A and B are shown apart, each in its own frame.
Chain A
Amino acid sequence: MNALKSFWKNIASLWSLIVGLQVTGKAFCGPQVTVHYPRQTVGPEGLEGFRGHMELVPSVKDPAIPKCISCMMCATSCPSKCLTVVKQKEPKPTEEQLKAMAEAEARGEKVKKLSAPKNPAQFIYDFSLCSFCNTCVENCPVGSIRFTTNVYFATTNKADLQMNLVERLAKQAASGKTVPGEKPKKAAKTETAQSEA
Chain B
Amino acid sequence: MTRTINPDYIRGDLYTQRFEQGKRENTLILNMGPQHPSTHGVLRVVLEMDGEYIVRAEPVLGYLHRMHEKMAEVKSYVGFMPNMGRVDYLHPLAWNWSYAGAVERLAGIEVPRRAEFLRVIATELNRISSHLLWWGAYLLDLGAFTPIMYAFEDREILMDILQRPTGARLTYSYFRLGGVGADMDERCLRQILDFVPYLRKKLPVYKDLVTDNVILRKRLEGVGDMDVDMCRRYGATGPILRGAGLASDTRLNETYSVYNEIDFDIPSFPETDAMARYMVRIREIEESLKIVEQAVAMIPEGEILIKGAPKPNWKAPAGEAYFATEGARGKVGVWVVSDGGKSPYRIKLRAPGFSNLSLFAEASQGTLLADAVAIMGSIDMVIPEIDR
Contact = CB atoms under 8 A, between A and B. Distances in A.
A59 interface: no
Nearest to A30: B153
Interface stretch (B74-82, B239-247, B372-380): B74-82
B168 interface: yes
A195 to B, nearest CB: 12
Contacts of B214: 12-14, 16-17
B213 A17 contact: yes
Interface in B146-180: 146, 150, 153, 156-157, 160, 163-169, 171, 173
Interface in B60-110: 75-76, 78-83, 85-86
A173 to B, nearest CB: 26
A38 interface: no
A27 interface: yes
Contacts of B168: 50-51, 132
Nearest to B80: A79
Nearest to A76: B312
A20 interface: yes
B165 A49 contact: yes
B205 A23 contact: yes
SS class, residues of chain B in contact with chain A: helix
A79 B313 CA distance: 11
Nearest to B176: A138
Interface in B176-226: 181-182, 205, 208-210, 212-215
A73 to B, nearest CB: 9
Interface in A1-31: 12-14, 16-17, 19-20, 22-24, 27
A20 B213 contact: yes
Interface residues of B, number: 38
Interface string A123-136: 00000000111110
Contacts, number: 93
B311 interface: yes
B156 A79 contact: no
A135 B212 contact: no
Size class of the A contact interface (CB-based, 8 Å):
20 to 34
Given A17-B213, A24-B209, A193 B160 contact: yes
A79, A147, A194, most chain B CB atoms within 10 A: A79
A27 B160 contact: no
30 contacts: A12-B214, A16-B212, A17-B214, A17-B215, A19-B208, A20-B208, A23-B209, A48-B164, A49-B163, A50-B163, A50-B167, A51-B167, A76-B313, A77-B79, A79-B75, A79-B76, A80-B82, A132-B168, A133-B85, A133-B173, A134-B181, A135-B79, A135-B82, A139-B311, A147-B167, A193-B156, A193-B160, A197-B153, A197-B156, A197-B157
Interface of B: 75-76, 78-83, 85-86, 146, 150, 153, 156-157, 160, 163-169, 171, 173, 181-182, 205, 208-210, 212-215, 311-313
Interface of A: 12-14, 16-17, 19-20, 22-24, 27, 33, 46, 48-51, 76-80, 131-135, 138-139, 147, 193-194, 197
